[in-house]
Amino acid sequence: MDLISGESSKVLRKQGFRSLKLMSVDMEQELGNEPEPFGADYGRLDNGLVYYVRRNSKPRMRAALALAVKVGSVLEDEDQRGVAHIVEHLAFSATTKYTNHDIVKFLESIGAEFGPCQNAMTTADETIYELFVPVDKPELLSQAISILAEFSSEIRVSKEDLEKERGAVMEEYRGNRNATGRMQDSHWQLMMEGSKYAERLPIGLEKVIRSVPAATVKKFYQKWYHLCNMAVVAVGDFPDTKTVVDLIKTHFEDKRSSSNPPEIPFFPVPSHEDTRFSCFVESEAAGSAVMISYKMPVSDLKTVKDYRDMLAESMFLHALNQRLFKISRRKDPPFFACSVAADVLVSPLKAYIMSSSCKEKGTLASLESMLLEVARVRLHGFSDREISVVRALMMSEIESAYLERDQIQSTSLRDEYIQHFLHKEPVIGIEYEAQLQKSLLPQISASDVSRYSEKLRTSCGCVIKTMEPRSAATVDDMRNVVSKVNSLGEEMKIAPWDEEKIPEEVVDEKPTPGDVTHQLEYPEVGVTELTLSNGMQVCYKSTDFLDDQVLFTGFAYGGLSELPESDYISCSMGSTIAGEIGMFGYKPSMLMDMLADLETALQLVYQLFTTNVMPQEEEVGIVMQMAEEAVRARERDPYTVFANRVKELNYGNSYFFRPIRINELRKVDPVKACEYFNSCFRDPSTFTVVIVGNLDPSIALPLILQYLGGIPKPSQPILNFNRDDLKGLPFTFPTKITREFVRSPMVEAQCSVQLCFPVQLTNGTMIEEIHCIGFLGKLLETKIIQFLRFTHGQQIYSAEVSVFLGGNKPSRTADLRGDISVNFSCDPEISSKLVDLALEEIVRLQEEGPSQEDISAILEIEQRAHENGLQENYYWLDRILRGYQSRVYAGDLGASCQILEEGRLRMRESLAPQTAQAALQRILPHPCKKQYTAVILMPQRSRFGFLSSIFASSPETRYIRDTKILAGIAGLAVLVFSIWRYSRK
């Protein structure tokens, strides 16, 4: 849990916020000291480039850099649609100074990973290049800034460069042509109708991506990429800002754009009074949904009054979202989930967007409920209690931000300056902002907040869209719903909101505190371990990474793996049903109004162990309905057949990996599910709880003893398992080569590949082997991307290598088995060729080994990630948890963590081209071509085409037989099923 923990914060800093004086605000006063943003060394070079430089030590010895360019897809001519995005790709391919993807190699060599959406993005209005680099060596910062300088004016656009990169861009385009992408594109065009934005989606057109000449790309780049439209941002752990400014001047001052740069034009989006309607039918849709968008011009944020209006708007959205969530938890709800948010879509246009997901054929009921709730607020407003809850939440958030003002991540500050440059958003500093919010929030009344409902009217700039897998709603139906709700509002026939009674305290009667029966200190990891009188083991680590954050988790051995197959489905639904009923003794809708400080969070844990969850027909009905809708949604997804076959093939059709089918859901026994859930959280002596964050032990320890130590221990042990006696999951990997095409009906052709190899790690060198397989996974991922995308220029955007070692019993002595898989999407026509190429590259690595450069890059990536992790609470939470769950743990957490770290260091010291080669031969089948599975998702052929291929195919190729799967095969339900294997978290 990520907690806003008042008790665990440093007292002086907490008092510092509370002692902030209220301001006597002048509503017309301008925010900050514009145009200069707070905290930055800010200026403009003679060539027009703007720069922002700021010192910030979070994380240590790292810098977040960016080049922001006021150039996006809306500037493209008709024959250039997609070129702005292509330029972004070409930047990492070659520049005047860097060729042959040298930039990518440099980033990887310094531990700054390169990957999809990590380093650059193109929108309709802008392009942003981002780098996150170490600065422990001065030359690294200089080279990183030089790369941004190259992007500004030196991107190489040759025919050869373009041809190499077309495949990656095309695959990114293809990946967007799924159900979600088609729905988003359709809604975008409806929203932007009448403007150039409607026809300028950043991904562009397929015909342009495939055939645009290099001259056209270069023309766009040279016309629009001008230094006067750019800003470089550098935020990091620098000795001083002057040195960084000097580096920016060194690398950028001599850059020149062509003379007389064209002015960036303004493209208005026409307003409309009539409501626009659309019924979008998408056969592959994950479910039915409704989206209501209320468009309006972007509002200014220049004065204190503008800032107050922004706060009131935020309070309105918070309050409305709380209502919508509570509606979704009612009996027979009109939607499963619904939310509203404000978003700036393009430079001139903002929108409030309400979106909901609902049952099939439920879009009209969902639409009516959404409109009705807005009309209810318009008619009756929010209550003072609702607004007081929202005000307290926002006050808590700004207090937390103020307390952690010295611990803000450099990437967050970098993004603030980017928005300052691109959208003139003021940067006023957290100290001033906290004082401003503390002064303004109490002045904003319920009526002030409720007035924002006037902006959500269907009579101006409103776009309403339904999305369904099969047509049910019509435009006339939607008009009738709008007319009905408007009439009810005009006639004042909408009842006020019926508020739930919120408990004053989570725990009615505070438990008797337990005692500490045993205490150990592990100074090597800075951890204190307590054994409580009820047998629960509690381990805490105090940190100063964030002043207002405490995280914790807990586990106990024994889970679904210990159940007979006949009980598996019902019991796997236990946490889902319990969550809907109220596993903490209250319905989720009642808990959302409570602020989560450390005491409240520990009270919830106490409630978890002492609440007896009983299935209620109403709540169970909601859960099962959502589950069935999720299964049906997966059945419509082309990837379902693919995912199911991969699991079936690699895991021997084990019931742990089989998709849940609707007929199985209908056999779920809610009583058995709840009984199992209750039994999992009955015996505190089986649990180890790990707490990490800014804890003051003198404050936290009494709370731990009262709410964790006060959990009653049962007279007899419940689900008390010895880790060495637990069962492993039943699965077997194929012993021979298996290559299959899985064909599925698709609206547009998609192709996905999974290449999988069995893995078995022997007990003797297990610690090193587990670290080793992590290094090998990253090595394979890097080399396959280099080989398929950069060397061969094939149509892949990226590749992912994943390691699965789950399913093994957590024994201290047994071997580990699992698999390592390579996943990528590609052009269906070349999928088999790419599988062969990937296999060839892995074989080459097994026979020749990687280069020293490859090994150095992998070691650097791992080391930089490790250094960043050491400054994060989440990292330490996971590290301590792994210390307890490691096979080397024998009651001494310090020794366990030390052995794991020593294993990591030994692996790093020993990793070289020869040892990596030997590991690839030892851990993977050698050669890898002798045992693997390759499953390829392909579009389903027409019947005539399929028969033709049978008669045309040669006897040698017929053994690779297409798997014939009907479109109605069941999918895997996408729900928060808590599929516990060995631990109950």
- Residue pair 754/646 in contact (Cβ under 8 Å)? The answer is yes
* Distance, CA of 6 to CA of 11 (rounded, Å): 9
* CA distances in angstroms from 131 to 9, 43, 867, listed in the order given: 33, 21, 17
Neighbour order of strands in the sheet with 337-346: 276-281, 462-468, 288-297, 349-358, 337-346
- Residue pair 708/795 in contact (Cβ under 8 Å)? The answer is no
How many residues are there in the chain? 985
Query: The tokens of 699 are what?
Result: 């404050």
* Distance, CA of 596 to CA of 570 (rounded, Å): 31
Three-state DSSP class for 664? helix
Query: The tokens of 441 are what?
Result: 């929030």
* Distance, CA of 205 to CA of 199 (rounded, Å): 10
Query: The tokens of 78 are what?
Result: 């008709």
* Distance, CA of 117 to CA of 125 (rounded, Å): 17
Listed in sequence order, the DSSP H helices in 681-724 are 697-707
Round the CA-based radius of gyration of the chain to a whole number and report it.
29
- Residue pair 819/805 in contact (Cβ under 8 Å)? The answer is no
* The amino acid at 161: D
* CA distances in angstroms from 695 to 121, 542, 724, listed in the order given: 39, 5, 34
Residue for token digits 């990973």?
A: 113
- Residue pair 440/449 in contact (Cβ under 8 Å)? The answer is no
Supply the DSSP symbol for 615: -
Active-site annotation, residues = 88, 165
Query: The tokens of 164 are what?
Result: 């190499």
* CA distances in angstroms from 519 to 246, 511, 802, 892, 916, listed in the order given: 54, 22, 39, 12, 43
C-alpha 347 chain-centroid distance: 25
- Report cis status (omega within 30 of 0) of the bond before 717: no
Query: The tokens of 831 are what?
Result: 């999928």
Greatest CA separation for the chain: 87
Query: The tokens of 355 are what?
Result: 């979106």
β partners of residue 289: 357, 467
E strand or H helix that includes residue 184: helix 179-191
* Distance, CA of 203 to CA of 101 (rounded, Å): 22
- Residue pair 560/981 in contact (Cβ under 8 Å)? The answer is yes
* N-term to C-term CA, the chain: 11
- Residue pair 21/714 in contact (Cβ under 8 Å)? The answer is no
Angle CA 716–722–725, to nearest 5: 125
* Distance, CA of 204 to CA of 123 (rounded, Å): 11
- Residue pair 563/966 in contact (Cβ under 8 Å)? The answer is no
Strands (DSSP E) contained in 496-536 are 516-522, 527-532
- Provide the 10 A C-beta neighbour count for residue 926: 15
Query: The tokens of 613 are what?
Result: 């969850």
* Distance, CA of 24 to CA of 26 (rounded, Å): 7
- Residue pair 297/360 in contact (Cβ under 8 Å)? The answer is no
* Distance, CA of 960 to CA of 947 (rounded, Å): 15
Residues 6+ apart with CB under 8 A from 424: none
